[in-house]
């Protein structure tokens, strides 16, 4: 399982802005197996690809906006090939589409893109927040509508367990319908106080054992740590998260 832990680089956006190659090298030394990319911070795709190859870090996937997927798809696929990944993830719904009719348009649009890239071996997932639970489409939450596990829906899931918890759901229960439809999962902890804000993995209220066990049995390829806001040094935060994930993995392996 340890070879499946990646960090979403949005967590380290300020550090990447200063020295993206240096961040990648430090993450590899820290013990991360991969990274999930979210922008290049004025570096070229070729430069970052070279550092990934140098370090041996793998690419868990690319976060790409709906606008860019819609208007620059060939450029996105070229980058994905450079980074040696077939996993594209749309990280959010545009604000103007966050209503019932908008979600229908969004699902149709993502499906068109997903079906266009399938013949070349690419997949397209959707990453959730909590607000998709606030709108209903066809009698269920907009999130469940978007990632419906049906044969005619090509949109895969990148469930963010923190946002599921924030919406008042049990993450371990919520993920169950998405067996073999979730190549990547966002693991993120929540503080045990009234703020219910972002926390390092293993320091908050989310029970990751059933989530990781389900992932191992149901086709999750990468567990991606994202901490939107870090109270301390972000590099220290992701280090603590990785150490705790490694401990969880060792315990789960020993008990199975």
Q: Are strands 184-187 and 140-141 parallel, antiparallel or unpaired?
A: unpaired
> Does residue 255 or residue 120 have the better pLDDT?
120
Mean pLDDT across the stretch 45-53? 98
Task: Give the length of the chain.
Answer: 256
Mean predicted lDDT score pLDDT of the chain: 98
Question: pLDDT tens for residues 129-142?
Answer: 999 999 999 999 99
- Alpha carbons within 13 angstroms on the beta-carbon side of residue 210 total 10
Question: First and final CA of the chain: distance in angstroms?
Answer: 13
What tokens does 229 get? 């806001």
Q: What is the CATH number of the domain that holds 81?
A: 3.20.20.150
Question: pLDDT tens for residues 57-84?
Answer: 999 999 999 999 999 999 999 999 999 9
pLDDT score of 256 more than 90: no
Q: Number of folded domains in the chain?
A: 1
Question: pLDDT tens for residues 165-190?
Answer: 999 999 999 999 999 999 999 999 99
109 confidence band (pLDDT: 50, 70, 90): very high
Instruction: Round the CA-based radius of gyration of the chain to a whole number and report it.
Output: 17
Q: Which domain holds residue 207?
A: 2-254
In the chain, pLDDT over 70 holds for what percent of residues? 100
What tokens does 164 get? 């599921």
Mean pLDDT across the stretch 83-93? 98
């Amino acid at each position: 399982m340890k070879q499946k832990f990646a960090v979403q680089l949005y967590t380290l956006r300020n550090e990447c802005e200063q020295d993206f190659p240096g961040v990648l090298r430090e993450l590899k030394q820290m013990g991360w197996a991969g990274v999930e990319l979210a922008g290049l911070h004025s570096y070229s795709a070729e430069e970052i690809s070279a550092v990934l190859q140098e370090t041996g870090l793998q690419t868990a996937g690319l976060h790409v906006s709906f606008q860019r997927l819609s208007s620059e798809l060939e450029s996105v696929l070229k980058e994905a090939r450079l980074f040696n990944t077939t996993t594209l993830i749309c990280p959010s719904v545009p604000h103007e589409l966050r209503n019932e009719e908008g979600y229908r348009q969004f699902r149709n649009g993502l499906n068109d893109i997903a079906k266009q890239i399938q013949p070349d071996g690419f997949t397209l997932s959707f990453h959730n927040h909590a607000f998709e639970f606030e709108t209903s489409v066809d009698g269920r939450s907009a999130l469940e509508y978007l990632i419906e596990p049906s044969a005619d829906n090509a949109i895969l899931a990148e469930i963010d367990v923190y946002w599921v918890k924030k919406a008042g759901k049990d993450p371990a229960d919520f993920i169950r319908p998405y067996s073999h439809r979730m190549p990547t999962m966002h693991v993120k902890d929540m503080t045990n106080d009234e703020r219910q804000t972002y926390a390092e993995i293993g320091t908050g209220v989310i029970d990751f054992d059933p989530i990781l066990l389900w992932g191992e049995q149901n086709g999750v390829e990468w567990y991606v740590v994202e901490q939107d806001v870090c109270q301390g040094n972000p590099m220290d935060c992701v280090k603590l998260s990785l150490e705790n994930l490694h401990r969880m993995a060792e315990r789960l392996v020993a008990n199975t």
